[in-house]
Structure 1
């Protein structure tokens, strides 16, 4: 059972009150542990396991996140920040294909390396403000990269939706595809990413 609120309801916006420093620290520790556990074990990992990973009591987890949805939304809010950073970094590159490789690769890796995120993205019955915001952020970026690619040698029919499908395809690779090889390179993932990008390049017209 969730613990009762730490402070009484004294107005319409009690949630806007800043947390005490120790409470804020506990929240950050729990959230970081939850992200690690979700990435490895999926979105249904227990609060007890999260508490153990964070090195706190399970009551601390419930005080900061009274239910699973609250915790999931907090994790997805951080994922939105990750997407924004990846998009900004990629758009800053002048080389169109290098930018597309960075954007598509980063977005796909977020799914490939995070079991919980993959599960949520493929659960069509799960309605979430965080997932909606993720899609709101990534869809226009996909359109932007598709337009840049069309202008710089990609197929003329390439669309933003196509780019999103390519991200989902790469993000659905077996987890071992992202494991570093003995040389330190993610040979499997990088190879598939290269094949995907080669597949959208415009082919020269054949003679005859």
Structure 2
């Protein structure tokens, strides 16, 4: 028997409320830290704290909800990879997608680390590993990518650049395009032509500010 229309409406409202909580929680976690309280999230959302607890009984459940969102976004990026020509264009798309993901969701790595601790069974690894590996092999076969590089090398290099997404925007606008260019140069075969770097280098004051921001000094 179909559910009454009122029941369906309540379920739809519950799903919408859950998504709204996640929408408001993510930027708060980024701005104020992973220990931000549910009262703060409820205040930002304009609801009672009981509404937040009804959907997420504890902070780990909230992190898991965000992590599931991240997996959906990664799946979307993986599907987008397949729209690019095989070989180096697909490798470049993977690098760019990894960087863009971190720029738009800078708290994702910290949330994912907490999920790995609290819900290791929920962690999935390498959903798109086979596609990236195939892109690397095709680029190597075409002579566009150095023969001794692996898909995991590409993933690590892309992740290293993506980690810079947390720096201030003024520095990031210079740093990310430049470091991306260095990564792509490192992946090209020896003797390949290297295009000019897209931006100028950071100044010493820029590097000092970035180091302080990331807690390195």
User: TM-score scaled to structure 2, two decimals?
Assistant: 0.71
* Counterpart in the other structure of 2:88: 97
* Counterpart in the other structure of 1:162: 153
Indicate the SS of the match to 1:56.
Answer: coil
* Counterpart in the other structure of 1:142: 132
Q: 1:114 to 1:160 in 2, by over 3 A?
A: same
Alpha-carbon distance, 1:117 to partner: 1.8
Matches of 2:24 and 2:121 in 1, distance apart?
19
Superposition pairs of residues 30-179 of structure 1, within 5 angstroms: 30-94=21-85, 96-121=87-112, 126-129=117-120, 132-133=123-124, 135-152=125-142, 153-173=144-164, 175-176=166-167, 179=169
* Counterpart in the other structure of 1:4: none
5+ unaligned residues in a row in structure 2: which ranges? 1-6, 193-217
Indicate the SS of the match to 1:156.
Answer: coil
Q: CA RMSD of the aligned region, Å?
A: 3.0
Alpha-carbon distance, 1:125 to partner: 6.8
- Which structure is richer in relative contact order (CA contacts within 8 A, separation 6 or more)? 1
* Counterpart in the other structure of 2:175: 188
Alpha-carbon distance, 1:104 to partner: 1.4
Matches of 2:101 and 2:48 in 1, distance apart?
29
Q: Higher helix share goes to which structure? A: 2
Matches of 1:104 and 1:160 in 2, distance apart?
11
Matches of 1:195 and 1:92 in 2, distance apart?
25
Alpha-carbon distance, 1:47 to partner: 1.5
Alpha-carbon distance, 1:187 to partner: 3.8
Matches of 2:191 and 2:123 in 1, distance apart?
39
Alpha-carbon distance, 1:64 to partner: 0.8
User: Would you say how many aligned residue pairs link Structure 1 and Structure 2?
Assistant: 184
Say whether the 8 Å CA contact 2:149–2:187 is kept in structure 1: yes
Indicate the SS of the match to 1:20.
Answer: helix
* Counterpart in the other structure of 1:5: none
Q: 1:125 to 1:31 in 2, by over 3 A?
A: closer
Q: 1:142 to 1:96 in 2, by over 3 A?
A: closer
